[in-house]
Amino acid sequence: MSATNKSVRVGLIGAGRMGSFHAQALAQKVPGAVLAAVADPVPGAAQRLAEKLGAGKYYSEPQAMLDDPDIDAVLIATPARTHAELVAAAARAGKHVFCEKPMAITLEEADNAIAAAKSAGVVLQVGFNRRFAAGFAAALAGIKAGEIGTPQLIRSLTRDPSPLRDPSGIPPWTIYLETLIHDFDTLLHCNPGAKPVEVYAMADALVRPDFKDRGLLDTSVVTIRFDNGAIAVADASFEAVYGYDVRAEVFGNNGMYQMGNINVNNCVHYGAAGISIGTSRQDTDLLADAYIAELTEFARCAASGDTPRATGEDARNALEIALACIASVQQGKPIQLRG
């Protein structure tokens, strides 16, 4: 772009559930950005979404959109195993990149994606939306300012809402690479300046044991030890009957922060049957404001060249823990990291 006051023209790659949600935000709710194009190989998918939201162009092949000189940036919301290659291709085409997590599923892929973005001089932001949720953002700022002293005990959890009807399409190790990856990023940033040195993971198929022999793990607890002595715990389940649940806690020698709330509308109902609160059944409901905030930051950084809060290096750091979890489950022991 030639001027910072020009709206960033964003092309979406991937018109599925998450891509469609992001597309609507870009088209209607993100200042400084416009949804300019949609690409998806599924016949008719790109055209339907583009026409619904007023995007001017649609493509059946992502590369055709990357070759379009009118596109300033791309948002990648395709299946996880395709992310790293698309990040590198977009960077080579000179497009700024927002990539849904995980950015990659191997460290080599992550390094290649980061190197491609650096070589091209483009912004690379990864979709760690919890950084942009108001409670998490406030706590992270306070932790970095030293308001609770040195973190000692840290916890983060992700529990997806029920029901888990058909797990057949869930790739192996999704619980680490796509679910707990958010928690690993949170834990890393709740202990600023410290490095993880040991990871131990336990996992099982407790929700759908009938799929365990197909590689599905739907429940896990992970412990992480840091070089400053702090101990962190992350847990995840693919079926929380009460709704989508994302929370974290950081305990330090001078106090504690708690982040996240399952109460979706900040309302508590007191009735004859007892006390009840409303909960979300989708991530896009519970974290709607955070999704918009992260895209707003991406548009600003694409226009200004600033470094976003969630970088490719951040994605690599979280991935390193996810891969250590996989090795820990496979070997049945803690995995040492270089720190």
Q: Are residues 190 and 246 in the same domain?
A: yes
- Residue 281 counted as domain residue: yes
Q: Are residues 39 and 162 in the same domain?
A: no
Q: What gap in Å lies between CA 278 and CA 274, rounded to an integer?
A: 13
Q: Are residues 54 and 191 in the same domain?
A: no
Which of 86, 121, 156 is at the close of a domain? 121
- Residue 176 counted as domain residue: yes
pLDDT of 4 strictly over 70: no
Residue 149 pLDDT: 97
Averaged pLDDT for residues 299-304: 97
- Predicted confidence band at 173 (pLDDT cuts at 50, 70, 90)? very high
- Residue 339 counted as domain residue: no
- Predicted confidence band at 320 (pLDDT cuts at 50, 70, 90)? very high
pLDDT in tens, 146-164: 999 999 999 999 999 988 8
What is the average pLDDT score of the chain? 95
Q: Are residues 147 and 227 in the same domain?
A: yes
- Predicted confidence band at 165 (pLDDT cuts at 50, 70, 90)? confident
Q: Are residues 199 and 329 in the same domain?
A: yes
Which of 121, 156, 173 is at the close of a domain? 121
Q: Which helix (H) or strand (E) holds 240?
A: strand 231-240
- Going from the C-alpha of 246 to that of each of 52, 258, 282, 332, the distances in angstroms are 31, 11, 11, 27
pLDDT of 249 strictly over 60: yes
Token reading at 125: 């932001």
pLDDT of 2 strictly over 50: no
Q: Are residues 166 and 105 in the same domain?
A: no
Averaged pLDDT for residues 287-302: 97
CATH code of the domain in which 275 resides: 3.30.360.10
Averaged pLDDT for residues 15-24: 97
Q: Are residues 218 and 88 in the same domain?
A: no
Tell whether the torsion through CA atoms of 66, 72, 77 and 81 is positive or negative. positive
- Residue 305 counted as domain residue: no
Q: Are residues 188 and 330 in the same domain?
A: yes
Which of 121, 147, 173 is at the close of a domain? 121
- Residue 292 counted as domain residue: no
Please give the tally of structural domains in the chain.
Answer: 2
Q: Residues 257, 143: contact at Cβ < 8 Å?
A: yes
Residue 339 pLDDT: 61
CATH code of the domain in which 107 resides: 3.40.50.720
Cβ neighbourhood burial of 42 (10 Å; 0-12, 13-18, 19+): exposed
- Residue 276 counted as domain residue: yes
Q: Are residues 169 and 41 in the same domain?
A: no
* Helices of type H across 242-287: 283-286
- Residue 156 counted as domain residue: yes
Q: Are residues 68 and 210 in the same domain?
A: no
pLDDT in tens, 87-139: 999 999 999 999 999 999 999 999 999 999 999 999 999 999 999 999 999 99
pLDDT in tens, 58-91: 999 999 999 999 999 999 999 999 999 999 999 9
pLDDT of 1 strictly over 60: no
Q: Are residues 273 and 205 in the same domain?
A: yes
Q: What gap in Å lies between CA 272 and CA 269, rounded to an integer?
A: 10
Residue 337 pLDDT: 96
Residue 5 pLDDT: 62
The range of the structural domain enclosing residue 234 comes to 129-287+316-334
Closest CA to 283 of 300, 260, 267: 260
Spacing of C-alpha 289 from chain mean position: 14
Q: Are residues 63 and 172 in the same domain?
A: no
Least confident of 36-40, 138-142, 166-170: 166-170
DSSP secondary structure letter of residue 179: I
